[in-house]
Amino acid sequence: MTGVRAATPADYDRIIAVVDDWWGRPIHGILPRLFLDHFHRTSLVAESGDELAGCLVGFLSPSQPDAAYVHFVGVNPDFRGTGLARRLYETFFALAAADGRTVVHALTSPRNTGSIAFHEAMGFTVVHGQGHDGPGSDRVLFRRSLAPGG
Ligand SMILES: CC(C)(COP(=O)(O)OP(=O)(O)OC[C@H]1O[C@@H](n2cnc3c(N)ncnc32)[C@H](O)[C@@H]1OP(=O)(O)O)[C@@H](O)C(=O)NCCC(=O)NCCS
């Protein structure tokens, strides 16, 4: 049985130790410790016994009162295809909606076709963001309304 709970700052070390393996490429640079120190209350950890099964790092935008943002989601390869990322997102949607947020944003790299397919399956709209993070940076931007019928 895989349980999902709010993250704590102490979860950082076990998350950062596995993310490069989970992504299959060096990715740890996009998750500095500050995310767990300052956004753990809106981030989630999934565990099966002592094993880390997945995590979601997200926050409620301090500057856009209607918006929440998912910075990072990853599922242990041994637990993929079981609906765990969907469960993490739905838990995050519920906590964001409880705070009055009506839209969730996320982004990925155009080469991350698995992430794009996952976000489409989760009902996000997909927009190409050329130069989004500066010259030469291509991103795929995701947006999903939390409003009923939205
Ligand atoms: C992307 C990722 C989080 C999906 O996790 P998962 O737990 O296997 O996903 P789920 O089982 O919850 O799938 C939810 C839906 O997305 C779809 N989906 C998930 N991964 C998919 C893929 N690679 N290709 C096509 N569809 C996919 C599923 O078919 C499912 O659709 P359904 O609910 O309509 O049947 C996981 O593959 C992963 O950790 N990848 C590496 C890290 C990464 O790229 N993270 C995202 C960018 S920050």
CB of 22 closer than 6 A to ligand 1? yes
Which residues are registered as beta bridge partners of 47? 3, 52
CB of 30 closer than 6 A to ligand 1? no
The rounded percent of the chain whose pLDDT value lies above 90 is 97
Please determine, for residue 147, whether its predicted confidence score (pLDDT) is greater than 90: no
Six token digits for residue 63: 């500057």
Q: Rounded to an integer, what distance in angstroms lies between the CA atom of residue 70 and that of residue 83?
A: 17
Mean pLDDT of 86-100: 98
Q: Rounded to an integer, what distance in angstroms lies between the CA atom of residue 19 and that of residue 8?
A: 17
Residue-wise pLDDT tens digits, 96-127: 999 999 999 999 999 999 999 999 999 999 99
Specify the CATH architecture of the domain 3-145. 3-Layer(aba) Sandwich (3.40)
Instruction: Provide the pLDDT for residue 149.
Output: 66
Which atom of ligand 1 is found nearest the CA of 119? 16
